Structure 1
Amino acid sequence: MTGKQMVRQEDLFELKSVTNPVLSPDASEAVFVVTQIDQEENAYHAHLYHLDVESGSSVQWTYGKERVSQPQWSPDGKRVAFLSTRDEKNQLFVMQAAGGEARKVTEVETGVSSFLWAPCGTKIWLTSTLEDGKTFADKEEKDEKKQPEALRVTTMKYKADGAGLVKEDRHSQIGCLHIESGEITAFTEGPFHHSLQAVSHCGKKLVVGVNRAENKDFDFRQPLALVDVETKEETVLVDEEGYFGGAAFSLDDRYIAYGGSDRTFENATHSGLYVYDCENQTTLNLTEALDAPVGDAVVADHQQGPNPPEAVWTEGNYLYFQVTTMGDVRLYFADLEGSLYPASPESEHVYDYGVAKNGQFALAAISNPVNPGELYRLDISTGERQALTSFNEDYVKDKNLVQPETVQLEGAGGFDVHGWLMKPANYEDGSKVPLIVNIHGGPHAMYGNSFFHEMQVLAAQGWGVLYINPRGSHGYSQAFVDAVRGDYGGGDYQDIMDALDDVLEHHEWIDQDKLGVTGGSYGGFMTNWIVGHTDRFKAAITQRSISNWISFFGVSDIGYYFSDWQIKADMTDVDTLWKHSPLKYAENVKTPLLILHSENDLRCPIEQAEQLYITLKSMKKDTEFVRFPESDHNLSRTGKPNLRITRLNELTGWFEKYL
């Protein structure tokens, strides 16, 4: 025994999330955000910290019951702006880097969504969602006796998980704040959503995202335009089906980098990194030869609010960006001549980062399975690294954390299947223990080499944990991520069961008569599918799941197009939708099934759980149903802290009962 403490559900209150590293213009200083859960308040508090890059010393800059986000240095490096919820709605604050109180510089009724400094340092571009016809200065009349109002819906995208019902008369607009006067001048107008992407270093150009299509029900575009600040004349950068964003000007303003993906494989399409040449008006896909997606596709439950740039330009027109590959998220380098290679090591998760303008070093927030995440200075040329923060150091020292071992096998159809296996934290040689199979959501996401509190909790209970990336997962080839579409419950199910058979064959410490399975979202669908197709598992827990693709089509915020993209069927082909619905196979279920679901989940609405529960109960199956109030699809990651603890207790309690 190590004498270390076992990981507990309540460790959520000890862990700290370190994100948003932003270097000052001369790269001698940085700011970053630390998020921690306040158990007494049952809330997340996020505060701004300052870092001296050379000495590695850091100091907390903001306090109180607030959440700080999106910190940015002024162009001269003398001030820092950030968004804060200290007055409930997100407003913009500016503070002097030399010290002193932060000054609130906006009073926008609906709050500020995002912002970028103008190069002059006297203005800040910002976005806010405004009611059509209203200005940034308008105030909402507060009526204590306001009566409920009906909501007229004329579009299909009328609700969104985490946001609720979408008012059709509100749109995101861009304005320009004059810091001294506090006046905000409107820059955009019209009943369209505008996103502020980038400001040129000369201050004369913006990159703006806007889709002006009249009917957007089946329109999945965010065109990007280069806009002249004075004349508002627009030059189209990209306008095609798919999502594109994260634009950034090169230091000489000649090039604009942006990320995104078209719809060749619908939402399974790999994201790429593109560069637009403003002089020649040509576009280059820098990552065309890379069979892996740009960006971060890792699913975990610890990091709060990372906000990594899509790409960072350095002197010489070099680029740095994230790539999701083989369980890792790595920092990559590219130039305009076609060079492309990793700039950070394997076996870790670079979940946020900044790069010095001279390209000599990166400031990166990095996690691995036994490190919740800290900031590191990465020397680009030598590969050397220096830890700059130690917020979770004592936690790591005190806890018995399990380092998973890599699992890899050849799956059906010639695909390699990759994942991880954890022994129990208190494993004693010669003993046999239960195994939990944990399946991720998405399905186009990825388990990775990142800290995952839930996995450590399960291992601390004395169980092994198997978590893999079946076909459909990101981080592998385009063919692999696309292979699940139209085949839910086919090759993906086979991958999971093949991985299970593989670890049972090679690890005698697993008790093959005591197997459990769980998963959320797509992982919940797969848990439902598994118990309807095999009785090998002695206990199962399905979370925020899909059980019936026919009703999902009409009740999910994404159902009417996601079903077509993923199942390759819509309401003109209910036979196919039903064939892939776990509810169809409810009569076969022999495994005790616990159903966990959030009441405000609009992605996989709770009626999916209700149908499954009542159907199983009517068939006299062993099942229970736990409903989480005031919670959406992201309960396990960003939900109310007390309910996150309850959820983990439900997981361990059910497996304890049946395994």
Structure 2
Amino acid sequence: MKSEHLPLLKSVSTPAVHPDGSRAVVSVVRPDFDADSYVGQLWTVPVDPALRPRRITRGFRDTAPDFSPDGEVLAFLRAAPGGKPQLHVVEAGGGEPVAVTDAPLGVGAFTWSPDSRSIVFSARTPEDGRYGTVDGVSAGGEDARLITDYQYRMNGVGYTADKPLQLFVVEVPSLDEEPAVAPAGRALKAATSADGGETEGRKGTRSLPAARQLTTAATDHNGASFSADGGALYFTAALHEGSDNDLVSGVYRLPLPAGDAAAADANADSGEAAPEEVPLAGTARLSASAVRQSRDGRWLYFTAQDLGPTGQDFVARNTALFVMPAGGGDAVALSDVETLDLVGGLEPAGSDGVLVLNNARGTMELLEFGPDGRRSTLLDGDRVVTGAAERAGTVLLSFSDAATAGDVAVLDAGGLRVLTDFSAPLRADAGILPPQELTFASPDGYPVHGWLVAPAGEGPHPVLLNIHGGPFAQYSGALFDEAQVYAAAGYAVLMCNPRGSAGYGQAHGRAIKERMGTVDMQDVLAFLDGALEKFEDLDAGALGIMGGSYGGYLTAWTISHDHRFKAAIVERGYLDPVSFTGSSDIGWFFGGEYTGRSAEQMAAQSPMARVEHVRTPTLVIHSEEDLRCPVEQGQRYFTALKQLGVEAAFLVFPGENHELSRSGTPHHRRQRFDQILQWWSRHLPSAANPAPQDGAAAAAPAAG
């Protein structure tokens, strides 16, 4: 795979399964160089093997499909070029989509009412005068912000207090009605005169159904879902007193007026109910992340992390599944928090169960739980399940593995039956190199699990030791564009999950709490040494090291201790715990929980505090709008290397945030790969990525 093959990487959404279980609809989105954006449409995927998947929409970017409970309507989000995603509906059998919203900052997520008559959606609500709400007031001309809280901005979002995520309800318009026609000629003149010049007809736009705001608190309201009877909404939020000082979030229930959205509007002034916090009796201080009622209405499921007595101890906390009677009572943990780490949302299964995903040793399993504690593993093995849903007893899922970036499958009695092949062009044009699963012992005997993606042909191959971010995250054996690009350029790519990673139990993840740079560095170097000893075609004299975020931290930390690497790449790194505390969106708690809060503890685990020991040529990569690991982290590290006489370069991406390598603009993602390979060609050339000829060094990243 090369950088120009990025448009062949197609990501697939969680399937929206039709209520009769006969088919699913998914969004298939890919990077596009011409648009320098992400484009995609909706596909219908029949369960019947005699029928083929086909594209059913033609929008610029259509995502997040979901069928109405009665199966008559399909709702989804559509974004025009340069525009925000808005809610649209279309007849389930096909037709012209109809816009339902025109939210200034776009719609985030939505959920259907059980009677299929209305939809609740989330959207950020900007203060007047901000974010283009007043013509002529640019971002630089907005009023000043007075900040008094720790939690006031978020990577990828920016400031949050002036645009909290609120919930709205809207009635679904009839799709049988004749579309509105804009008046013209005499009718336009009459309409313009009648309302003083402001008429939907004059502007030539169709009138949208009125949406009513349901929540008003100045905080985000997440993961809304209806109760089984449609009489209430459940969601998660931090509405408790003192919420700025902890990471706690609760489950809330919002009673809704009787009837549909129109009736709700009529009753809007008759004393609306406020959200009621659901008492999660028998639980500690939790951060709730998803909530869903069972289809029979008897049980309330939610997922949450235990944050300890301070409400801030988030380090390597596995997410557990809880259940409680919907009418109230004690919450009971259904999953073993020490061994299972449940991620994502909750999907109803059968009358009383839920589907949920589990991190497990570099894979993502699909599990089903019942309220009585029963647990079934529906799918495991060497794949990453990214979403699943069940209707009429049929379970469909989206997944990735070593051969696909995303596809759709159904669970049959005989096992997994794959229904799509969206990665066929990628395999045909780019070629995919298979990962080899490996385990090597650390010096203290601890097993370190990971993968090798080796280039084609005989060695010796130069080696790149890749370190993932997080740190409570994991590499997997699924198709990974980074490993494929570097292996195609002639590098043997090593990736492992050292202590501190997710997927191996809480003890594994919490092993580096207040001990960053100890057993984690020991583990990644042990994995490297084990691979060099096992495979003769790996060149022990031609080593590179690289990583992003926490991976940038551990790369910078390692090259201050170990000088065998020919070069390094430190990307969007957590490099100085001291300045991180005041500059990062999560800095007010992250460093204190991971490194400890004393000056001595931070210095003992800080790459900046050891920068004078670095000898390795280092490329520092950062994004200007990164609020997670702010650009000052990279700037100061690069400057320190230059002052010490270490060869260094600083590659800075405008308009990008912490997610550049995963969801940055296609142009920048391609440029990032090309610049990385140029750096390796200069310091760690391979047969497929040779050293530049004389004069070609000018193409390298500028040093400042």
TM-score (ref. length: structure 2):
0.85
Candidates 227, 248, 263, aligned match of 1:200: 227
Give the aligned partner of residue 365 of structure 1. 398
**Residue 590 of structure 1 aligns to a residue in which SS?**
coil
Structure 1 residues 89 and 395: alpha-carbon distance in aligned structure 2, compared to 1, 3 A threshold? closer
Structure 1 residues 174 and 165: alpha-carbon distance in aligned structure 2, compared to 1, 3 A threshold? closer
2:509 counterpart letter in structure 1: V
| Aligned-pair CA distance for 1:215 | 4.2
**Residue 32 of structure 1 aligns to a residue in which SS?**
strand
| Aligned-pair CA distance for 1:235 | 5.2
Give the aligned partner of residue 236 of structure 1. 278
| Cα deviations by residue, 1:34-77 (Å, 9 ceiling, x for unpaired) | 10222111111121122222244222222243x22321111210
Whether 1:12 aligns to 2:6 is yes
Whether 1:520 aligns to 2:542 is no
| Aligned-pair CA distance for 1:142 | 2.0
Whether 1:618 aligns to 2:618 is no
2:440 counterpart letter in structure 1: L
Structure 1 residues 202 and 399: alpha-carbon distance in aligned structure 2, compared to 1, 3 A threshold? same
Give the aligned partner of residue 72 of structure 1. 66
| Cα deviations by residue, 1:76-95 (Å, 9 ceiling, x for unpaired) | 10111112222712221110
Looking at structure 2, the residues matched to 217 and 515 of structure 1 have their Cα atoms a distance apart, in angstroms, of: 45
Whether 1:408 aligns to 2:401 is no
Candidates 342, 348, 358, aligned match of 2:377: 342
Looking at structure 1, the residues matched to 159 and 21 of structure 2 have their Cα atoms a distance apart, in angstroms, of: 43
**Residue 405 of structure 1 aligns to a residue in which SS?**
strand
Q: Which structure 2 residues correspond to residues 306-321 of structure 1 after superposition, within 5 A?
A: 310-321=345-356
Candidates 162, 171, 178, aligned match of 1:178: 171
Whether 1:112 aligns to 2:154 is no
Q: Does structure 2 retain, via aligned residues, the 8 Å contact 1:459–1:465?
A: yes
TM-score (ref. length: structure 1):
0.90
Give the aligned partner of residue 475 of structure 1. 503
2:658 counterpart letter in structure 1: H
| Aligned-pair CA distance for 1:594 | 0.8
Give the aligned partner of residue 451 of structure 1. 479
Looking at structure 1, the residues matched to 512 and 296 of structure 2 have their Cα atoms a distance apart, in angstroms, of: 43
Looking at structure 1, the residues matched to 398 and 566 of structure 2 have their Cα atoms a distance apart, in angstroms, of: 39
Looking at structure 2, the residues matched to 330 and 578 of structure 1 have their Cα atoms a distance apart, in angstroms, of: 39
Q: Does structure 2 retain, via aligned residues, the 8 Å contact 1:556–1:605?
A: yes
| Cα deviations by residue, 1:561-583 (Å, 9 ceiling, x for unpaired) | 001111122xxx22221221112
Give the aligned partner of residue 635 of structure 1. 660
Identity value in percent: 30
Give the aligned partner of residue 31 of structure 1. 25
| Cα deviations by residue, 1:451-483 (Å, 9 ceiling, x for unpaired) | 101101111111111100010100002110110
Give the aligned partner of residue 484 of structure 1. 512
Structure 2: which 5+ residue stretches go unaligned? 174-207, 258-271, 685-704
| Aligned-pair CA distance for 1:493 | 0.4
Structure 1: which 5+ residue stretches go unaligned? 1-6, 296-307
Structure 1 residues 185 and 316: alpha-carbon distance in aligned structure 2, compared to 1, 3 A threshold? closer
1:377 counterpart letter in structure 2: V
Structure 1 residues 219 and 650: alpha-carbon distance in aligned structure 2, compared to 1, 3 A threshold? same
Structure 1 residues 341 and 568: alpha-carbon distance in aligned structure 2, compared to 1, 3 A threshold? farther
**Residue 220 of structure 1 aligns to a residue in which SS?**
coil
Whether 1:382 aligns to 2:414 is yes
| Aligned-pair CA distance for 1:202 | 1.3
1:272 counterpart letter in structure 2: A
Looking at structure 1, the residues matched to 395 and 338 of structure 2 have their Cα atoms a distance apart, in angstroms, of: 22
Whether 1:325 aligns to 2:360 is yes
For the pair shown, the structure with the greater C-alpha radius of gyration is 2
Give the aligned partner of residue 340 of structure 2. 292
How many aligned residue pairs are there? 625
Looking at structure 2, the residues matched to 122 and 319 of structure 1 have their Cα atoms a distance apart, in angstroms, of: 24
Looking at structure 1, the residues matched to 352 and 249 of structure 2 have their Cα atoms a distance apart, in angstroms, of: 26
Q: State the superposition RMSD in angstroms.
A: 2.2
Q: Which structure 2 residues correspond to residues 96-175 of structure 1 after superposition, within 5 A?
A: 96-131=91-126, 140-143=133-136, 147-166=141-160, 168-175=161-168
Candidates 300, 311, 319, aligned match of 1:271: 319
| Aligned-pair CA distance for 1:240 | 5.6
**Residue 441 of structure 1 aligns to a residue in which SS?**
coil
Looking at structure 2, the residues matched to 157 and 511 of structure 1 have their Cα atoms a distance apart, in angstroms, of: 47
Looking at structure 1, the residues matched to 128 and 248 of structure 2 have their Cα atoms a distance apart, in angstroms, of: 25
Looking at structure 1, the residues matched to 498 and 626 of structure 2 have their Cα atoms a distance apart, in angstroms, of: 25
Q: Does structure 2 retain, via aligned residues, the 8 Å contact 1:504–1:512?
A: yes
| Aligned-pair CA distance for 1:339 | 2.7
| Aligned-pair CA distance for 1:145 | 7.5
| Aligned-pair CA distance for 1:290 | 6.1
| Aligned-pair CA distance for 1:326 | 1.0
Give the aligned partner of residue 189 of structure 1. 216
Looking at structure 1, the residues matched to 640 and 116 of structure 2 have their Cα atoms a distance apart, in angstroms, of: 62
Give the aligned partner of residue 221 of structure 1. 248
Whether 1:257 aligns to 2:301 is yes
Q: Does structure 2 retain, via aligned residues, the 8 Å contact 1:223–1:240?
A: no
Structure 1, 637-646 or 124-133: larger mean CA deviation = 124-133
| Aligned-pair CA distance for 1:112 | 2.2
Q: Does structure 2 retain, via aligned residues, the 8 Å contact 1:132–1:171?
A: no
| Cα deviations by residue, 1:172-226 (Å, 9 ceiling, x for unpaired) | 3222212238122332234343235210221112113232235433221221023
Looking at structure 2, the residues matched to 436 and 289 of structure 1 have their Cα atoms a distance apart, in angstroms, of: 34
Looking at structure 1, the residues matched to 73 and 351 of structure 2 have their Cα atoms a distance apart, in angstroms, of: 27
Looking at structure 2, the residues matched to 530 and 368 of structure 1 have their Cα atoms a distance apart, in angstroms, of: 30
Looking at structure 2, the residues matched to 110 and 644 of structure 1 have their Cα atoms a distance apart, in angstroms, of: 25
Give the aligned partner of residue 647 of structure 1. 672
Give the aligned partner of residue 702 of structure 2. none
Structure 1 residues 145 and 189: alpha-carbon distance in aligned structure 2, compared to 1, 3 A threshold? closer
Structure 1, 285-294 or 500-509: larger mean CA deviation = 285-294
Looking at structure 2, the residues matched to 562 and 507 of structure 1 have their Cα atoms a distance apart, in angstroms, of: 39
Structure 1, 333-342 or 452-461: larger mean CA deviation = 333-342
**Residue 20 of structure 2 aligns to a residue in which SS?**
coil
| Aligned-pair CA distance for 1:169 | 3.9
2:570 counterpart letter in structure 1: T
Structure 1 residues 400 and 105: alpha-carbon distance in aligned structure 2, compared to 1, 3 A threshold? closer
| Cα deviations by residue, 1:127-183 (Å, 9 ceiling, x for unpaired) | 22224699xxxx9332367834322211122221111233x3433322221223812
Structure 1, 362-371 or 610-619: larger mean CA deviation = 362-371
Looking at structure 1, the residues matched to 98 and 442 of structure 2 have their Cα atoms a distance apart, in angstroms, of: 58
| Cα deviations by residue, 1:9-56 (Å, 9 ceiling, x for unpaired) | 111022222223110111112210010222111111121122222244
Q: Does structure 2 retain, via aligned residues, the 8 Å contact 1:22–1:31?
A: yes
Structure 1 residues 170 and 372: alpha-carbon distance in aligned structure 2, compared to 1, 3 A threshold? closer
Looking at structure 1, the residues matched to 637 and 277 of structure 2 have their Cα atoms a distance apart, in angstroms, of: 51
**Residue 589 of structure 2 aligns to a residue in which SS?**
helix
Looking at structure 2, the residues matched to 427 and 242 of structure 1 have their Cα atoms a distance apart, in angstroms, of: 52
Structure 1 residues 624 and 482: alpha-carbon distance in aligned structure 2, compared to 1, 3 A threshold? same
Q: Does structure 2 retain, via aligned residues, the 8 Å contact 1:56–1:388?
A: no
Give the aligned partner of residue 200 of structure 2. none
Whether 1:437 aligns to 2:465 is yes
Looking at structure 2, the residues matched to 355 and 545 of structure 1 have their Cα atoms a distance apart, in angstroms, of: 40
Give the aligned partner of residue 305 of structure 1. none
2:307 counterpart letter in structure 1: R
